[in-house]
Structure 1
Amino acid sequence: MRFKNFQIWRGRLPHWRADEVRYYTTFRHRRPLDEDERRTLFAQLLKASGNRYDVFVLCVLPEVTELMFRMREDAKGRPFELAAIIEGAKRKAGKAIVKDTGERYPPFYTESYDRIVRDDAEFEERWLAIVGSPVDAELADEPEEYECLWVAPEA
Structure 2
Amino acid sequence: MTTHHPNTRRLVYGHATNHDCLAFVDADTAAGEAPEIRALAAARTWGEARQVQMTHLSNPAGPECYEEDDYPDDEPFDITEVGAIVEGYWPEMVTARALDALPQDLQDRYGEVVLTVHNGEYLQVPLDGEAELVAELRERGYEVTRDDDLVNLLDGLRLGSVTA
Structure 1 length as normaliser, TM-score?
A: 0.28
Q: Flag the structure with higher helix content.
A: 2
Q: Structure with the greater relative contact order (CA < 8 A, sep ≥ 6): 1 or 2?
A: 2
Structure 2 length as normaliser, TM-score?
A: 0.27
Q: Flag the structure with higher strand content.
A: 1
